[in-house]
Structure 1
Amino acid sequence: MLSLHTAINGELHAYNLKEMLAEAEAIVPTVSPAEALEMMRSAEVLTLDVREPFETEKTGMIKGAINIPRGLLELTADTDGPHYDPTFEKHRIVLVYCTAGFRSTAVPRSSGH
């Protein structure tokens, strides 16, 4: 079994992938495709594809979405960082998608949204 370790309040905790996904799903709202389409009509919504470029080249992207691979997201969303992208304004709702849901579920905790 794959497990990852993280320090919480100075204590080391082990998580397997299933536990990490369940924890993230408990705090990240999920919307239906119909709800997502309705949300995307607003200028206040940023649609973010966190797949790798080779994935988007194969299958395309949702019209109007921007692609920032999950591994580069913190660099792009950090307002104090040299690679900050102003499309990540804090007041915007970020609608995130990927292939299976794990990468998109983990985004809000790591990006501050």
Structure 2
Amino acid sequence: MALGYKDLLARADATVASVEADAATLAHADPDTVFVDIRDPRELEREGMIPGARHAPRGMLEFWIDPESPYHKLWFAEGKRYVFYCASGWRSLLAAEVAQQMGLTCASLRGGFSGWKAAGHPVAAREAKG
């Protein structure tokens, strides 16, 4: 039997730590924690992002994490804790599960960027790339 998205989310939620927006502010201040925005660049340009977050498009995540990949990003090899987020928390939960399977210490921001903004936490503008 094939798994649906709800099954995939439930499986990921059982194995990946999640952090609520208010608790995430403590992690945000920790220099050993990196927030990773996996949303589409157009979402970032339209809505902004968490200040200081790194952007890793979901479609490139596995390639950016793997040190053997020609697309590897060194900031994924720093041995830090990575808090993934998207708009609502679903994509980032699945992304955090994959990153965790690839050896990173991860968490997912429950409620995503929408929850972060709704809680009144800071938002930084993302400039459109020309």
Runs of 5+ consecutive residues of structure 2 not aligned to the other structure: 105-130
Q: CA shift at 1:90, angstroms?
A: 5.5
Runs of 5+ consecutive residues of structure 1 not aligned to the other structure: 1-12
- For residues 77 and 66 of structure 2, the distance between their equivalents in structure 1, rounded to whole angstroms, comes to 10
Of 33, 56, 71, the residue aligned with 1:83 is 71
The percentage of aligned residue pairs carrying the same residue is 32
- For residues 36 and 89 of structure 2, the distance between their equivalents in structure 1, rounded to whole angstroms, comes to 13
> Which residues in structure 2 correspond to 1:35-74 (within 5 Å)?
35-74=23-62
Q: How many residues align?
A: 101
- Name the structure, 1 or 2, with higher relative contact order (CA <8 Å, separation 6+): 2
SS in 1 for 2:19: coil
SS in 2 for 1:48: strand
- For residues 60 and 20 of structure 2, the distance between their equivalents in structure 1, rounded to whole angstroms, comes to 26
- For residues 65 and 83 of structure 1, the distance between their equivalents in structure 2, rounded to whole angstroms, comes to 19
Aligned to 2:18: 30
Aligned: 1:109 with 2:97: yes
- For residues 14 and 7 of structure 2, the distance between their equivalents in structure 1, rounded to whole angstroms, comes to 11
Q: Which of these two proteins has the greater Rg computed from alpha carbons?
A: 1
Matched-pair contact (CA < 8 Å) for 2:15–2:97: no
Q: CA shift at 1:42, angstroms?
A: 1.3
Query: TM-score, length-normalised on structure 2?
Result: 0.73
Q: CA shift at 1:98, angstroms?
A: 0.3
Query: TM-score, length-normalised on structure 1?
Result: 0.83
Q: CA shift at 1:81, angstroms?
A: 0.9
SS in 2 for 1:15: coil
Superposition misfits of 4+ residues, deviation over 3 angstroms: none
Going from structure 1 to structure 2, the CA distance change for 1:90 and 1:15 (only over 3 Å counts) comes to farther
